[in-house]
Amino acid sequence: MDSQTNKLAFELAFDDGWRYAPAPESTDHIRLDKQYELFIGGEFVAPQEGRYFPSINPATEEQLASIALATAPDIDAAVAAARKAYGKWSKVTAAERGKLVYRLARMLQERSREFATIESLDGGKPIRESRDIDIPLAAAHFFYYAGWADKLGYAFPGRTPRSLGVAAQIIPWNFPLLMLAWKIAPAIACGNTVVLKPAETTPLTALKFAELVQDAGLPPGVVNIVTGAGDTGAALVNHPGVDKIAFTGSTDVGRIIQKAIAGTGKRYTLELGGKAANIIFADAAIDQAVEGIVNGIFFNQGHVCCAGSRLFVQESVADEVVQKLRDRMETLIIGDPLDKNTDIGAINSREQLERIRSYLKIGEEEGAEMHQSSCPVPDRGYWCRPTIFTGVSQSNRIVQEEIFGPVLAVQTFRTLEEGLTKANNTPYGLSGGVWTDKGAKIFKMTQGVRAGVIWANTFNKFDPTSPFGGYKESGVGREGGLHGLGAYLSLEG
């Protein structure tokens, strides 16, 4: 026995306490290149200015690959490639389009383990989530929209659905491949071509997807992937050759985009921020509700536009719920995103960690009481312990502003009307949750809460058939389901 095994045997023999046993996903099965180029016209091409930026692993701060930085001439080339391909793609038979989109769906499924591992490496999310949620849902979106490709006339009876042309698609870093699927699947199923820009911290699964596009035999230029940060996104949005813009990200950038395209006739959908209310009535199944609160705010480190970041608990059960929540938080494991035990992975970037930390400080300065779990966090990488604030009031910034981290603000209410008024006191309107034993209360709340999606006795459930989108500052338009299909078509009589 070497000394390590010896030590382990000793510990096992003489210590019967529970010991943490990591279960890391292997990385042997994935292939990552050192450098990634732009995917334009069906080929990987070097950026015209020759500049690159790193994509790092936020759990280790190590560089994973060097990524091409697209500037205006590259955007010109990508939009031109998409325009050229549109001439052909919009005339391909609908059945053939459907066949190719199905093929992408199947190839994603076949390579799901590789995609899940890369998603967790590049963005910091727990492998359990990328494996069980992100990648299967991404494939499901391709399957769903593939099915519509040759049935558009049935989707919109009495109308003449026509594709729009070239879609510019800009996606965020919280669900990189899933957001790609939300954007690309309906667009190409309807006969459009796309130029997609992934977020600068999480470009790798989009670039791996470009390999699938090549392997699937899609005509060159139907899908183009350009990488870069905000300037690259702005060049794409402002390009005169683009017919439709689909953006998911911050409300601030959504505003910039809306201003920039005013009067241009470009169609657009904007999926922006949120500050969802998760509302727990005294008659709810409390243990299930506590699980729902944990899922609502700690899923994907709270980097979720529809996260349940404002908790409203009916006063008579508030102490019980908060105590159970704190106990449950204590059991959450933070750490290596590739470990299958991990509940909370790495914060996506240093910038985002700093933003979250600034809100923790603001919360304390506003007089709220902060409770964090005591679990250990790794030395390197970007981490934030699950956090709840009690003693907050409606006007507090931590209650009004999107934090986009594992941070929950807890308030109480007495009557249904008070809960409803408080829940609606927000500039956002993306999602919400209601927990109660009574169907009548569910109906009242779901009709009264002004949000695009409301879950009852559950939270964060997604399905490709279900439309998703917001009111007020949470955005314009819907993605998913038939609504999402309509957003990529003109439907004149």
- Residue 55 interacts with which of Mg ion, ligand NAI, none, CB < 5 to 8 Å by class: Mg ion
Q: Which residue stretch of 44-52, 64-72, 135-143, 242-250 sits at the interface with ligand NAI (rule: CB under 6 A)?
A: 242-250
Q: Is 271 considered catalytic here? A: yes
CA distance 48 to 80: 15
3-state class of 468 per DSSP? Answer: strand
Nearer to Mg ion, 55 or 120 (CB): 55
- Residue 122 interacts with which of Mg ion, ligand NAI, none, CB < 5 to 8 Å by class: Mg ion
Q: Is 305 considered catalytic here? A: yes
The residue annotated as part of the active site, out of 37, 129, 200, 305, is 305
Q: Minimum Å distance from CB 210 to Mg ion? A: 17
Q: Which residue stretch of 52-60, 138-146, 192-200, 366-374 sits at the interface with ligand NAI (rule: CB under 6 A)?
A: 192-200
Of the CA atoms within 13 Å of residue 241, those in its CB half-sphere come to 17
Binding positions for Mg ion, 184-223, rule CB under 5 A: 201
Supply the DSSP symbol for 225.
E
Residues near 490 by beta carbon (within 8 Å), at least 6 away in sequence: 161, 162, 163, 164
Q: Which of 122, 243, 402, 473 binds Mg ion (CB under 5 A)?
A: 122
- Residue 335 interacts with which of Mg ion, ligand NAI, none, CB < 5 to 8 Å by class: none
Q: At what angle do helices 135-148 and 112-123 cross, to 10 degrees?
A: 120
Distances (CA, A) of 376 to 25, 332, 352, 386: 21, 10, 20, 12
CA distance 2 to 103: 50
Supply the DSSP string of 79-118, one letter for each residue. Answer: HHHHHHHHHHHTTS-HHHHHHHHHHHHHHHHHTHHHHHHH
Total binding residues toward ligand NAI, as defined by CB under 6 A: 25
* Sequence-ordered strand ranges (E) for 385-425: 387-390, 407-413
| Residue 180 makes contact with ligand NAI by CB under 6 A | no
End-to-end alpha carbon distance in the chain: 79
Binding positions for ligand NAI, 382-401, rule CB under 6 A: none
Supply the DSSP string of 205-220, one letter for each residue. Answer: HHHHHHHHHHHHTPPT
CA distance 70 to 47: 6
Q: Minimum Å distance from CB 59 to ligand NAI? A: 18
CA distance 174 to 347: 10
- Residue 108 interacts with which of ligand NAI, Mg ion, none, CB < 5 to 8 Å by class: none
Q: Which residue stretch of 26-34, 117-125, 326-334, 421-429 sits at the interface with Mg ion (rule: CB under 5 A)?
A: 117-125
Residues near 384 by beta carbon (within 8 Å), at least 6 away in sequence: 301, 347, 353, 356, 357, 405, 406, 407
Q: Could you tell me which of 274, 280, 276, 297 has the C-alpha nearest to residue 419?
A: 280
3-state class of 456 per DSSP? Answer: strand
CA distance 418 to 431: 18
The residue annotated as part of the active site, out of 200, 271, 473, 479, is 271
Supply the DSSP symbol for 24.
B
Binding positions for ligand NAI, 136-175, rule CB under 6 A: 170-172, 174
| Residue 249 makes contact with ligand NAI by CB under 6 A | yes
| Residue 70 makes contact with ligand NAI by CB under 6 A | no
| Residue 396 makes contact with Mg ion by CB under 5 A | no
Nearer to ligand NAI, 120 or 412 (CB): 120
Nearer to ligand NAI, 351 or 369 (CB): 351
Burial class (CB in 10 A: 0-12, 13-18, 19+), 277: buried
Q: Minimum Å distance from CB 405 to ligand NAI? A: 8
CA distance 430 to 250: 13
Q: Which of 32, 256, 282, 377 binds ligand NAI (CB under 6 A)?
A: 256
Q: Which of 148, 209, 389, 404 binds ligand NAI (CB under 6 A)?
A: 404
Q: Which of 55, 251, 314, 387 binds Mg ion (CB under 5 A)?
A: 55
Contact 88, 96 (CB under 8 A): no
Q: Minimum Å distance from CB 236 to ligand NAI? A: 7
- Residue 273 interacts with which of Mg ion, ligand NAI, none, CB < 5 to 8 Å by class: ligand NAI
Q: Which residue stretch of 141-149, 159-167, 246-254, 384-392 sits at the interface with ligand NAI (rule: CB under 6 A)?
A: 246-254
Q: Could you tell me which of 322, 328, 288 has the C-alpha nearest to residue 433?
A: 288
Q: Which residue stretch of 9-17, 102-110, 124-132, 232-240 sits at the interface with ligand NAI (rule: CB under 6 A)?
A: 232-240
| Residue 237 makes contact with ligand NAI by CB under 6 A | yes
Binding positions for ligand NAI, 272-301, rule CB under 6 A: 272-273
Residues forming contacts to ligand NAI in the complex (CB under 6 A) are 170-172, 174, 197, 199-200, 229-230, 233-234, 237, 248-250, 253, 256-257, 272-273, 305, 352, 355, 402, 404
Annotated catalytic residues are: 271, 305
Residues forming contacts to Mg ion in the complex (CB under 5 A) are 55, 122, 201
